[in-house]
Each structure stands twice: as structure tokens, then as C-alpha cells.
Structure 1
């Protein structure tokens, strides 16, 4: 259990998130988890592996909270829950983040779409207008289709296919923004209001020196998102990675709620705490 002093006003929005993952392996294996929220008020993470309680090892990778688990042979169940209080300050773009978020990455080969992006978008627009314009373009261009993409698909594959899921929408948005020389990165989040409920992928872009969120899927209010972690693309933000043996992912259940009415959808870039 992790707790921190409560912050903010008494009427600040409070979100409750949870996730349960199951996996199995005929022999010991190692798992890396990125399901813990970035700034919890309270949280609890429990792991039962091979009938035995396992203590997760927590560390940071580029600011993301990662838990490493040494799984025993047999079935493993991971249960996570957290409460989050609204009120953290917006995140300013550091020079190192600025540089990293401009470079092409595994799923976001922005150098391949520079000419295309320059043809499709007006680079002279202020970023507060250009960033949502790119997200809106991706929303119109793609059709949200569960199971339509492969884990290895890049943003170029998504553009040609014309469909995908949230990570594909995020990768194409990021790639076009970087092609327009706007730093952008992927954010993994819990998303109250999302249907069907799942982990969600959205985009953060540098708008006047502040990381600001847009969601090209428009499937959940950006103002209710709960940050898990951010990275260059999905390679940095995977909720589960399994190594060693023949470990196999089985099932997942995700929930995310707020203690009041959900905010109205907002297409404008929004600083996510």
C-alpha cells in the first residue's frame, strides 16, 4: 500500500482505477508491469504467483514507474487499485524531453512522413490550433476497428490501412506532429468514460512549453484521464512485458471511474497532470 498526503480542495475530482491481469507459465519467468498511476493518493498492488504472494520490485525508467515480478511456475494474478486526486500542476517540457519527442521512433517513423505532413497541414498555425487540427484529421482519416492492427504496425502501416485502435491513432498523431517539428509522445492512461473499458493511449504535444493532451479517438474525455506513464511510443509504455520460459498472458480487466459527472469532451489541448 502506498499513500501520500491529500491535496487540493475538498470538492476536487477524485478518480478510482483498478486492473486485474492473469498470466501463466510452466516455469519461472519475469514480468515487467506499467499499470501503476504516476501520482496516486493511495494505491495497492498485490501479486499471487504459483499460490505464493510475490513482492514486486519498483524502479523508474525515464520517469515511468515500472514493477518487476519474478513469477513462479503456474498461474499468476496481479491486482492493482488506486485513488487519484485532481490538482497536480501541468508538466513543463524539459530540454531532454523536447529532444527525445522530436526524434523518429520504432512505431513513429516521422522522417518518412515529413513531406506528407507539410502538404496536409498549415505549419504557420499556432500550436494550440495545429495540434488539435492534426488530431481531428487522424480522427476523420481512421476508422476505430478492434483487432484490425498487428503489434508490429507502425504509423505508416496505420495510415495505409485506414483503421486501428487507440495506440494506432496515437502513433499516427505523434508521427505527423513530429514531422511538423512539434515534440509529441504517447501517454498510457486510465480513462473514465471509455467504452469498452481498457487501458487507453493518447498523445501529449508541446504547446507553449507545456505537455498538453489530445485524443484522436475521441472515445473518452481528456480531462478525466489518469496518467500511467509516457514514452516515445507503445514500445516504452506497454502495460505488460513477459520474459523467459513460455509465459503467456491470459486475461485483463480494467475499471476507471470518477466521483462526479464526467467532463464534457474537449478537442482543445489539455495539460494532463
Structure 2
């Protein structure tokens, strides 16, 4: 299924005039970038690989204090997503390095604090069936409420408050999965069903020797998500980082289904 992505960003940037961005669709298994155009007014841009080699990060050096960015892409998503309940987990000692890293606690996902809870609540289940139960538990127990968390909110806060936004849902799935001995990482994506439309965050778990997307908000299916980047948690995969404070002036994200002909329009 092809998707069109349209992003417009305008921010006031501090004295450094340096911005790191993670906004481009990744060249990764399960999706193909068919067309892409990025424009950043009065800026020089340098690309570096994203975390774990997924996607890219952009260093933009601005000539003024205003970031004005336009990004357009058409992406074919071929990954439809396997039924989680049919997937199995690997013994920890057989995990590859790329997965083993994502078993450990991280800044916003203190998974070691959830080992007892995960064992009591999900301990009778195995592999993908356990992940499906974690996803459904988070979806049922946590209310999606905009503006209920900030960049310092941890999974401990979310577990206590039982409310949050997509990043909080993703953190809780990651923490409970890691606490259950299943590698999980945070994924930044563009999602078709996100309401209101914005950058979206989901979890990605390691089962049957591969990564599988899990959206506990249940806004998007795997076939409706375009990968941007991954990390241990939101600290590793923000869409924008600056040395100074950045003030939002305007931002719109639009994700829609398309065809090759209509996209070239």
C-alpha cells in the first residue's frame, strides 16, 4: 500500500542555529521510499545513520534563527504484520547483539522495576501471545489523553497515572516486554490512523528472529505505519533535537493513502 507523507515545520531556534532531525522515512525492510523531497530554507544539511542503523538523522545548520522545513514522500509499505500469537520468543542466550541491547532498562523505560508485575500478570503466557496480552492490557488500562505527559515523563509515571500519549503507550509496552525477557525498542513512525495527525510512537518487539511493530494505542496496523527510526526509548528517537530551546511556530503532519499517479499529480 502506498502512502503520501506531507510535513511542514516552522520553529524558532536558539543561538546555536543547529538542529538534529529524524523526519525522513527509513530505507528499511518492509517499506520502499518511492519519491522524496526535503527542503530546509537557508540551511546546510549533513546526514548520519540513525540508531541501530535504522533511518537517518539530519544535522541542519541554519543561517537564521528560524527553521522552515517541508518534507514530502511517497512510501510503499509491503509489511502487513504477522499474527503475534503465532510467534515465538528466543532464549536470551541465543539473541543476536542487535536484539540483546533492547532487553536492558533505559532512561524512560525502567523495565527492571516491572519484573514482578510482568511475571504475576503475564507469566502463564509465552512469546507472541505474551506480547499480545501486554499490548491489550496497556490499551485497556491506559487512557489516551493529549497533553498529559511531557519529555520527562517515564514509564513509572505512566504506570501510576494510567494516562498518556503514544510515547507513553510505547514505553509501557517496551518496559513490560523487556521485563518478560523479550527485547523491545521504541519506534518513531508516520501512521495513517493517528488522530490528531502527528509523529507517532509504537513499540517493536523481537520474535521469531525479526522485529515486529506493536501499537498499543490501536490507532494503526503494521500495514499503516511508515518507519522513521528506533531507539531504546524516546530519548534515542526524537524527531527534533536542539542545543537551545526551540519554540514551535507551526507544524502539520499529513499521512494519506495514495497511488503512484495521484502522488505525481
Runs of 4+ in 1 over 4 A off after TM superposition: none
Q: Deviations over 1:118-165 (max 9, x none)?
A: 11112x423121111101000111011111112111111100011000
Q: Is residue 137 of structure 2 the alignment partner of residue 149 of structure 1?
A: no
Deviation at 1:55, TM superposition (A): 2.9
Separation of aligned partners in 2, 1:215 and 1:238 = 18
Counterpart for residue 21 of structure 1? 9
Counterpart for residue 227 of structure 2? 227
Q: Deviations over 1:21-49 (max 9, x none)?
A: 1111363421000000002222111111x
Counterpart for residue 256 of structure 1? 255
Q: Using structure 1 for the length normalisation, give the TM-score.
A: 0.83
Call closer, same or farther: CA 1:17–1:121 in 2, change over 3 Å. same
Contact 1:190 1:256 in 2 (8 A): yes
Contact 1:98 1:183 in 2 (8 A): yes
Counterpart for residue 32 of structure 1? 20
Q: Deviations over 1:145-195 (max 9, x none)?
A: 111112111111100011000000000110000000100011110001221
Counterpart for residue 67 of structure 2? 76
Separation of aligned partners in 1, 2:202 and 2:13 = 32
1:55 to 40, 44, 56: 44
2:39 to 21, 31, 46: 46
Larger relative helix fraction:
2
Residue correspondences, number = 240
What root-mean-square deviation, in Å, do the aligned CA atoms of Structure 1 and Structure 2 show?
Answer: 2.0
Q: Using structure 2 for the length normalisation, give the TM-score.
A: 0.85
Counterpart for residue 112 of structure 1? 113
Contact 1:29 1:247 in 2 (8 A): no
Unaligned runs of 5+ in 2: 28-32, 82-89, 260-265
Unaligned runs of 5+ in 1: 1-12, 261-273
- The DSSP-based 3-state class of the residue aligned with 1:56 is strand
Separation of aligned partners in 1, 2:46 and 2:110 = 33
* Aligned pairs (5 A) from 1:1-273: 13-25=1-13, 27-39=15-27, 40-48=33-41, 53-62=42-51, 63=53, 64-87=55-78, 95-122=96-123, 124-244=124-244, 246-259=245-258
Separation of aligned partners in 1, 2:235 and 2:61 = 21
